[in-house]
Structure 1
Amino acid sequence: MASSVLLPGVSNLSVKVHPVVLLSICDAYIRRKEHQDRVIGTLLGVVVDNVIEVKNCYVVPHNESSDQVLVDLNHHKTMFDMLQKVAPHEVIVGWFATGADLYNSDPLIQEFYNKESTHPVHLVVDTTLKDNKFSIKAYLSRPLAFGDKQLATEFVQLPCDTIVSDIERVGAELMLTGLNDPSPESKRETANKSFSDEGETLQGSMARLADLVARASDYVQNVVDAMMVTYLSDLLRAHVALAERLGTAALPIM
């Protein structure tokens, strides 16, 4: 269950998300296994002046049903320890999930992250692009109890927005430019111009960025296939040349 009333004691909290986090989540959703309905993962960042700034994230493999969730704890710990070596100031601030709304199993996952962080944020990223819109929502949780007995968990929505540094803005604009004009010459010319168009918000751009990630994945696969064909052709030519030198009709390739 979700509510728009803020939690007592944290009514001034808000969430700011960097674009690299949203791109990583979109990429993870595109690469998910066929049977997976959604992907989840850990959010890393800092908390300054009641602002939870989400700077990084990583996927955590999981299996879930309506009453049970299995999380790969070893993967979670390994990824966190590795990223701590790169950015030791970034701590666990919550978790993310793709989808249009909350799931019945979310309280179980939230319970796990309550042990990892104080007031962990649950970030819901709608990758369905319904009505051609890219939306993100942030929640905190609180227990609903009767006396000493906890009956349920309530998710309370927090103000959530994106935060873009100058470097990130340039990178986002370069990616968007590549959708309309993929020529290298045009990219080099555009890279020397200003990319400070304040009229377009990041949310309005994320739908096109998600499409770009899918195109990039297909392109990489095509490049790998082409390299394999080239390698086999070179191997065959070398085989023929060696056979001619040795005066042998045929040699085994493998």
Structure 2
Amino acid sequence: MGTLMGYYEKGSIQVTNCFAIPFNESNDDLEIDDQFNQQMISALKKTSPNEQPVGWFLTTSDITSSCLIYHDYYVVSSPKHRHVMIIRLITPFSGDMTKRMPVRAYLRSKAGIPGAAGPHCAIFNPLRVELAAFPGELVAMQLMEKALDSRRREATLESGLEQLEVSTAQMIEWLERMLSYVEGVNKDGEKPGDAQIGRQLMDIVTSSSNNMQPDKLDALVKNTLRDYVMVSYLAKLTQTQLQVHERLVSA
């Protein structure tokens, strides 16, 4: 269990940092070390003044009644009682959880019977979670994911040649996946087209052409144009021959 640090944006909550805090759930008594929590928040604000508490996280397999008490603590201690988010790290990893981050986010809302004096329960509504990371952070996350298959939960760094081999294999897999998608969209509409994916593919092509040397780009365009002209010529020639053959047969 711990505190989530970040900032609020229009329509979203950005989580940029977190830290664990001591807590106790023995004998049905819930205790949170508030002094430790406030000291950590003050220390983090010295390095990142814009960050503030935006919620809390808990490692659990399900949301329990204890979450209400923890959530009330963070709601009271949050600045201006803004929206407080809870992130649940699902344990143990099972099913499709091994292929993606086992993270769920919720916002609490009060609920009750229509016409009653006030709300009598609380509902944790799920939120959409988007993970964003720098390239260096992604490399570290991928390395830690490899430790999931190890009994000792250890992962070793690969050599430069092995990393190049893995990166090349991933690149080939992504290219094959993109090629399969494009062919599926263009071939009799087997797959529905997605405008967002199309724009992303266009950005990839544009960025690749901008980073390419001018002489190589000219050579690529000329070679592609020649291939297109040749294929177009052969297609029209074949079409003409078929038309002539049909007329001769029908005559």
The unaligned stretches of length 5 or more in structure 1 are 1-39, 201-254
Give 1:97 deviation, angstroms.
0.6
- Cα distance in 1 between the residues matched to 2:66 and 2:29: 7
Match of 2:91 among 103, 108, 127: 127
Say whether residues 1:94 and 2:94 are aligned partners: no
**1:103 paired to 2:64:** yes
How many residue pairs match? The answer is 160
- C-alpha separation between the residues in 1 aligned to 2:108 and 2:7? 19
Q: Which amino acid aligns with 2:159?
A: K
Secondary structure of the equivalent of 1:95? strand
Q: Which has the higher contact order (CA 8 A, sep 6+)?
A: 1
Q: Which has the larger radius of gyration?
A: 2
TM-score where L is the length of structure 2? 0.53
* Superposed counterparts of 1:7-86, under 5 Å: 40-64=1-25, 68-86=29-47
Partner of 1:32: none
Q: Which residue of 2 aligns with 1:231?
A: none
Q: Assess if the C-alpha contact under 8 Å between 2:21 and 2:36 holds in 1.
A: yes
Distance 1:187 1:148, change over 3 A: farther
| 1:145-160 superposed matches below 5 A | 145=112, 147-160=116-129
Contact 1:141-1:156 at 8 Å conserved across structures: yes
Cross-structure match for 2:104: 137
Distance 1:81 1:47 in 2: 18
User: 1:167: Cα distance to partner?
Assistant: 2.3
Give the number of the structure whose residues are more often strand, by fraction: 1
Structure 1 residue 153: Cα displacement = 1.6
Structure 1 residues 183 and 171: CA distance shift in structure 2, 3 A: closer
- Between the aligned partners of 1:194 and 1:129, the Cα distance in structure 2 is 25
Are the structure 2 counterparts of residues 108 and 173 from structure 1 closer, same or farther at C-alpha, using a change threshold of 3 Å? closer
Distance 1:193 1:80, change over 3 A: farther
Alpha carbons of 1:130 and 1:183: their partners in 2 closer, same or farther (altered >3 Å)?
closer
Conservation of the 8 A alpha-carbon contact between 2:13 and 2:54: yes
Residues 122-157 of structure 1: CA distance to partner in whole angstroms, max 9, x if unpaired?
111112112362521111011224644442221111
Determine which of 119, 122, 138 is the counterpart of 1:169: 138
Give per-residue Cα distances to partners, 1:86-123, cap 9 Å, x unaligned. 22211111000111210111111111111233111111
CA distance in 1, matches of 2:49, 2:165: 35
Shift in alpha-carbon separation, 1:149–1:170, aligned structure 2, 3 A = same
Task: Say whether the 8 Å CA contact 1:95–1:122 is kept in structure 2.
Answer: yes
SS of 1:164's equivalent in the other structure is: coil
* Structure 2 unpaired stretches of 5+: 175-251
2:6 touches 2:15 (CA, 8 Å); kept in 1? Answer: yes
User: What is the DSSP-based 3-state SS (H/G/I as helix, E as strand, rest coil) of the residue aligned with 1:161?
Assistant: coil
1:174 and 1:191 in contact (8 A); partners too: no
Q: Relative to total residues, which structure has the larger helix share, 1 or 2?
A: 2
